[in-house]
Amino acid sequence: MLERIIIAGAGGQGSVLLGKLMALTAMDIFPHITFFPAYGAEVRGGASHCQVVMSSTEIASPCAEQADALILMNQHDAAGFVAQLAPKGLAVVNSSLCHIRQVPRGRRLVSIPASAMADQLGSPRSANIVMLGALLRHKPLFSMAAAEQTIRKLPSGAPGMLEINLRALQAGHQAAG
Amino acid sequence: MTGNEALAEGAIRAGCQCYFGYPITPQNELTAYMSAQMPARGRVFIQSESELAAISMVFGAAAAGARAMTTSSSPGISLMQEGLSYLAGARLPAVVVNVQRGGPGLGSIDPAQGDYFQSVKSGGHGDYHMIVLAPTSVQEMHDLTIHAFRLADCYRVPVMVLADGRIGQMMEPIRLHEGPPPPAPRKPWALTGAAGRDPNCVRSLLVGEGELEQHNYVLQDCYRHIRRKEIMYHEKCVSDCETLLVAWGTCARLARGVVDLARAKGKRVGLLQPTTLWPFPEQRLRRLAARVKNLLVVEMNCGQMLEDVQRLAEGRAPVHFKGYPGGRVPTETEILRAVMALRPPRSVPRRKTGKRK
């Protein structure tokens, strides 16, 4: 089994963190996992993306040329990433900041206003977790409970952040139904 | 764990007592990990004021008999060349890590393999060598670092772990070394306080009549010994291959995938992946070059290990090259295309000789 996931966004949107979170959670399920980030020199802003490859056999190349799942946090180079979607691939799009409305034939598209939803929950930074919830609804790489467990292990950050993130996960999961 | 963190944890488990470093992307996770872990385990961590200071601190710690390490990325390693030459001249064991990025100059923070020449041909002045180890995975970042400390102490040479930004920042699950650190040999030459014995002297300035010449012969003897004993490499599908890929580090990892893809298309492809770039697996390459139809060297530079492969192939088979400079990581598809485009070399037509009657 092979799952290649690309998460793309702007620096500060938590794309790289989300990739790490997914890699850590999947470690109990897949024997081989690679994760690698690609970001510019900026701490905030600028393009930032990462790739997670989960496989039942040895992973030669950690760079996925095609994606079985794509999470688009913003518009930057969105069309380029969509072109990388493998047949039957799934694109989850943050419609608050990304205007992709269709994907090539044979691929699936799930749109949710993740940034707006995260804003309502009290933390715009949790948009990445909303997206994870939506992805898991359509591509259960691992259980929601497993995702929750990893989120609980994240550095706590601001007070109340953990609760918001847990709600964001559920909200994304429900909204993507 | 990221490759950088796995390397750092490897150093700690190898008994590294002193770490000195100056931050630079793409190896910052390494320095950050050491800054938290070394003091917590009662060892020395110093964020130096520069790379020059870091390598000089390594010199000092190594002279005092400690297991010491510094890490940096390409521009920082350039700054350390003087210190590396001094370490080699003074016969001091040390581990130096280069998580390469694009160059020349400040270049970029993207992964690259442009420092092969600098590492294996000794970038500092004088006739010296470092042992150079090239990891291809997060696990190897961990394991080869432990091995590097063993080699450094065993031969009293600086050992370089030559990684790149891709392997440094990549995360993979790994198995951590659980055993004891590599045994530390006695260091009767170390500056440990001269109470009850004659003072030791660690230096690389040898101005007595013929002294430096003799010292160089000692170094060369040591390098010969390393060449005989310490060559490491991996192979994949070489027994029946017609095309031999030669690649190291990140490119070797990509090449492993390409071997499978090309074989699925019916092309008999194999891979030689040197783990020690110095000493290079020379004999092995010569032997393989004598029985394949084509060699293809793949690197993230404009042709550096290529020159060693050409030298060793000695015209037995044509050596082709695919290079990606300036921080670009190729895809498997690109390399596969280059492999599939190779044709058996046209053989020189032999003059027909009629049967003697």
pLDDT digits (tens, 9 = 90+) for B56-80: 999 999 999 999 999 999 999 999 9
Whether residue B251 sits in one domain with residue B224: no
Give the C-alpha separation, A157 to A14, whole Å: 13
**Partner A, chain B 142-171, Cβ-Cβ below 8 Å:** 166, 169-171
**Partner B, chain A 55-94, Cβ-Cβ below 8 Å:** 58, 60-63, 65
A61·B331 Cβ contact <8 A: yes
Specify the CATH class of A2-175 in words.
Answer: alpha beta
A23 touches chain B (CB under 8 A): yes
A36·B170 Cβ contact <8 A: yes
Q: If we measure between CA atoms, which residue out of B165, B205, B115 comes closest to residue B328?
A: B165
Mean per-residue pLDDT of chain A? 92
pLDDT of residue B302: 98
Tell me phi and psi for residue B85, to 5 degrees. Answer: -65, -40
Chain A residues close to B254, C-beta within 8 Å: 60-61, 63
Whether residue B177 sits in one domain with residue B240: no
With contact defined as beta carbons under 8 Å apart, do B159 and B10 qualify? no
Confidence of residue A37 (pLDDT cuts 50, 70, 90): confident
Chain A residues close to B333, C-beta within 8 Å: 65
Determine, yes or no, domain membership for B95. yes
pLDDT of residue A42: 61
Whether residue B269 sits in one domain with residue B207: no
Determine, yes or no, domain membership for B350. no
Last residue of a domain, one of B210, B229, B248: B229
A149 touches chain B (CB under 8 A): no
Determine, yes or no, domain membership for B193. no
Q: Considering its fold, how many domains does chain B have in total?
A: 2
Determine, yes or no, domain membership for B24. yes
B331·A34 Cβ contact <8 A: no
Q: How many other C-beta atoms are found inside a 10 Å radius of the C-beta of residue B67?
A: 23
pLDDT at B96 over 90: yes
Angstroms from A69 CA to nearest CA on chain B: 19
Whether residue B210 sits in one domain with residue B269: no
Give the C-alpha separation, B135 to B168, whole Å: 10
Whether residue B335 sits in one domain with residue B319: yes
Mean pLDDT over A29-40 rounds to 87
Decide: residue B263, CB within 10 A, 0-12 exposed, 13-18 middle, 19+ buried.
middle
B245 touches chain A (CB under 8 A): no
pLDDT at A40 over 80: no
Determine, yes or no, domain membership for B195. no
Angstroms from A133 CA to nearest CA on chain B: 23
Nearest to A62 among B109, B170, B173 (CB): B170
pLDDT of residue A155: 82
CATH number at B273 reads 3.40.50.920
* Nearest residue on chain B to A30, alpha-carbon basis: B173
Domain locations along chain A: 2-175
Domain of B170, in residue numbers: 3-185+202-229
A63·B331 Cβ contact <8 A: yes
DSSP A100: -
Residues of chain A with pLDDT > 70, as a percent, come to 96
The ipTM, to two decimals, is 0.83
Instruction: List, in sequence order, every residue forming a beta bridge with B131; answer none if it has no partner.
Output: B159
B11 compared with A28, residue with greater pLDDT: B11
Per DSSP bridges, beta strands A85-94 and A67-72 are: parallel
A11 touches chain B (CB under 8 A): no
Whether residue B260 sits in one domain with residue B170: no
A27 touches chain B (CB under 8 A): yes
Determine, yes or no, domain membership for B257. yes
Half-sphere exposure of A55 (CA within 13 A, CB side): 17
Whether residue B260 sits in one domain with residue B207: no
pLDDT tens digit sequence for B274-300: 999 999 999 999 999 999 999 999 999
With contact defined as beta carbons under 8 Å apart, do B66 and B11 qualify? no
Confidence of residue A20 (pLDDT cuts 50, 70, 90): very high
B109·A60 Cβ contact <8 A: no
A61·B173 Cβ contact <8 A: no
B109·A41 Cβ contact <8 A: yes
Determine, yes or no, domain membership for B156. yes
Whether residue B22 sits in one domain with residue B151: yes
Reading the block at residue B8, the tokens are 């750092």
Judged by DSSP in three states, B99 sits in strand
Determine, yes or no, domain membership for B173. yes
CATH number at B114 reads 3.40.50.970
* Nearest residue on chain A to B167, alpha-carbon basis: A36
* Nearest residue on chain A to B24, alpha-carbon basis: A41
